[in-house]
Amino acid sequence: MSETQALESMIGEEYKYGFSTDVEYEDFPKGLNEDIIRELSARKEEPEWMLEFRLKAYRAWTEMEEPSWFNATYEKPDFENIQYYSAPKNKPKLDSLDEVDPKIRETYEKLGIPLEEQKALAGVAVDAVFDSVSVFTSFKEKLAEAGVIFCSISEAIKNHPELVKKYMGSVVPARDNFYAALNSAVFSDGSFCYVPKDTICPMELSTYFRINNMNSGQFERTLIIAEDNSHVSYLEGCTAPMYDEHQLHAAVVELVAMDNAEIKYSTIQNWYSGDEEGKGGIYNFVTKRGACRGKNSKISWTQLETGSAVTLKYPSVILQGDNSIGEFYSVAVTNKKQQADTGTKMIHIGKNTKSTIISKGISAGRSNNSYRGEVKINKGADGARNYSVCDSMLIGQECGAHTFPYIESKNPTASVEHEASTSRVGEEQIFYLMQRGISEQDAISMIINGFVKEVLKELPLEFATEANALLDVKLEGSVG
């Protein structure tokens, strides 16, 4: 087997989480109109203001055009054929793990994330989202002791309406873009986190998402607020079962950091990417944005993107507060016919604001991997600095890597640095390591691990094992 074939077969490991769980779902009509939204809001027992928010977003959406400026082609979703609400029947009100539907627990076990173990994981609170409804939340008491609110968005709407009203849509307005508008109209559930003043969140927060219902679009909504002098680290990991129909995922994540606050948001994404022809994979069209509102605040996005048929995702930071910091660390792996168009936006508004972008793309098979980034320095952003590195690695001859950096500076005191490189995993590198006694498979892992190391070291320790396991699944296999 040639090195290239070996590499391709290692990367081309079949999706290991391709199964679905047979849980009964509530009936809900397909399609989208104002009545559907009213029904959805009613089933969720939402207050009037929430329904108004949704309807306004829906009306905006109907006037918007589906975007097509990115470097990807795919069959457009049929919005009339999507079921916009799904929840496991008999939504449980749980006091302990034993009350979770055994089928759901089985699913988690197949994924290697049994709740028992998660519970035991030192310092990790888990809010497991199964389809659209939260079925389990743990560690709440400990968080409550610290004054941290961590719950589903639905609960937050009921119990903390003043916070949700104040912040939801304040970073990503409903009319921001086509998919954000859609999400604002029909979001199902998601996570809410509020860290009060002078509080260090006592544990890493994590949520596992899982799409498990044929034709049910998944519209997660996440809102995290860190008040003055607070700190929170949020982990998000995703896997999904195999299906023949494309599944749309259009999430919105909003982060708000006040004076001296820090939010670290980490993602591992491994959704089904479709078969050899790209059929059946997930569409992942996500709007993630953070606002550094306070001075000296900091928001970091770290992502390991390995799944989905089509990924459009640009976690961004608006640097409003003076001396605030935005960071984006990304590894995007594409294989087969996967298409990823991902990157970030750093908008410098405050003085002496600083942003760092480290993007690593790995393309294999016949996939297409694009980095798209925008660094914008506004007039008043004296002394703003940006440093960007975009590296691409190609495996095989049929894949593509593209870099689209946009830089716009309106302030002469700002400094913007951009570096980019493209390399190919080469026979010579592999031969060099093999000559030192390393097996071909280990040589390939070493080269790839070396390539992504700069980014993976940004993941919280609790996530590092999972990241390594995922890279193993993606990169190891049939050599030897």
> Under the rule (CB under 8 A), what is the footprint of other proteins?
2-3, 427-429, 431-440, 442, 446-447, 449-454
How would you classify residue 12: left for phi > 0, otherwise alpha for psi between -120 and 50, otherwise beta? alpha
For residues 5 and 62, which CB has a smaller minimum distance to other proteins in the complex? Answer: 5
| 352 C-beta neighbours (distance < 10 Å), count | 19
Residues 138, 105, 241, 88, Cα dihedral to 10°: -80
Cβ 167 to other proteins shortest distance, Å? 39
For residues 275 and 442, which CB has a smaller minimum distance to other proteins in the complex? Answer: 442
Cβ 331 to other proteins shortest distance, Å? 12
For residues 128 and 444, which CB has a smaller minimum distance to other proteins in the complex? Answer: 444
For residues 197 and 453, which CB has a smaller minimum distance to other proteins in the complex? Answer: 453
Report d(CA 261, CA 372) in Å as an integer.
28
Name the phi and psi angles at 189, rounded to 5: -160, -170
For residues 2 and 73, which CB has a smaller minimum distance to other proteins in the complex? Answer: 2
Cβ 304 to other proteins shortest distance, Å? 15
Residue 283: name the closest of 181, 374, 215 by CA.
215
Residue 207: name the closest of 291, 100, 134 by CA.
134
Report d(CA 275, CA 107) in Å as an integer.
22
For residues 81 and 421, which CB has a smaller minimum distance to other proteins in the complex? Answer: 421
Cβ 450 to other proteins shortest distance, Å? 3
Cβ 451 to other proteins shortest distance, Å? 6
For residues 149 and 471, which CB has a smaller minimum distance to other proteins in the complex? Answer: 471
Cβ 211 to other proteins shortest distance, Å? 33
Helix, strand, coil percent values for the chain (each to nearest 5):
25, 35, 40
For residues 97 and 434, which CB has a smaller minimum distance to other proteins in the complex? Answer: 434
Cβ 468 to other proteins shortest distance, Å? 14
CA atoms within 13 A on the CB side of 198: 0
Report d(CA 226, CA 394) in Å as an integer.
39
Report d(CA 296, CA 389) in Å as an integer.
23
Q: In a 10 Å sphere around its CB, with 0-12 CB exposed, 13-18 middle and 19+ buried, how is residue 331 labelled?
A: buried
For residues 413 and 421, which CB has a smaller minimum distance to other proteins in the complex? Answer: 421
Does residue 270 sit in helix, strand or coil? strand
**Per DSSP, what are the bridge partners of residue 248?**
283
Which residues in 97-108 are b (16+ Cβ under 10 Å) and which e?
Answer: eeebbeebbebb
Does residue 76 sit in helix, strand or coil? coil
